[in-house]
Amino acid sequence: MLKILGKASSINVRKVLWTCAELGLAYELEEYGSGFRSTETPEFRALNPNAMVPVLLDGDLVLWESNTICRYLAARYAPGTLLPEDAAGRARIEQWMDWQATELNNAWRYAFMSLVRQSPAHQDTQALATGIANWHRHMTILDEQLQRTGAFAAGTQFSLADVVLGLSTHRWMATAMEHPDLRAVHAYYERLSQRPGFLAHGRNGIP
């Protein structure tokens, strides 16, 4: 059985849990991270030198980086479903996954740490305003893409891109701030909410 190391409240762990739900994969979750077992031990660092969650154990295979884990699970256990087998189709999905991990994640970090985590180090008024504006700007990019596809991030079919972007969309929606009227994003959020995996691991009360 698959073993996932991490805590269920982590947005990156939730990517993997939602992917497992979509693929119907059984797994065992061992909780590591703040409030649970430490990731700073030599034993954990031997699995992931970054001392971060999630980590996937599948037999002798050890993987870290949440988007990589999701790609592996889709390709290994359900090829051609959440991640197409043809190069062009796969690339269209992976570009949005990579955009989420690099551009969008960096855009929301300051505002999220300030408004949700209440971090004392993230309470500068100007930096917060800049962070919120940058977050909204990136969500507008997603809104424009959803207007083009009319359904999901990379096209008309649900894919791994929607797992990672769906969780980011939930974080944006759940953060207490004024939101611009991004109608395609709102419709997307409701569309994802028809999926049991998203309700369990995305729209579940955790930003």
pLDDT tens-digit map of 120-157: 999 999 999 999 999 999 999 999 999 999 999 999 99
Cβ distance 152 to 194 under 8 Å? no
Cβ distance 197 to 203 under 8 Å? no
Q: Tell me which CATH code domain 2-77 carries.
A: 3.40.30.10
Model confidence pTM above 0.95: yes
Residues of the chain with CATH 3.40.30.10: 2-77
Output the pLDDT for position 91.
Answer: 98
- One-character DSSP codes across 72-84: HHHHHHSTTSSS-
Output the pLDDT for position 84.
Answer: 96
Domain range 87-198, CATH architecture = Up-down Bundle (1.20)
Residues of the chain with CATH 1.20.1050.10: 87-198
What are the CA-CA distances from residue 5 to residues 13, 31, 38, 117 (Å)? 8, 6, 11, 23
